[in-house]
Amino acid sequence: MNELSALICRAERVLERLEGILPGPAAPPDWSAAHAFLWRRRHGRGSLQAVGVPHGIRLKDLQDID
């Protein structure tokens, strides 16, 4: 086995170990579950979380926003 093949084998072993430690991908949000979503970050990972009952703010309630 030449040096390149040995390096590739070692890199594959390292990747297999890392994949066992890392969490899987987050589930995609259910866009029909809510009208509003919040970005939540937990343990260094972010995901969208549905907001069941968002605040009912009217456009005329927003003032002095640049």
Paired with 26 in beta bridges are none
Q: Are the CB atoms for 15 and 7 separated by under 8 Å?
A: no
Q: Are the CB atoms for 36 and 54 separated by under 8 Å?
A: yes
Q: Are the CB atoms for 11 and 25 separated by under 8 Å?
A: no
Q: What confidence score (pLDDT) does residue 53 get?
A: 87
pTM value is: 0.49
Residues 29-65 have pLDDT tens digits of 899 989 899 998 887 788 899 998 888 888 888 888 8
Q: Residue ranges of the domains in the chain? A: 25-66
Question: Whose structure tokens read 């069941």?
Answer: 52
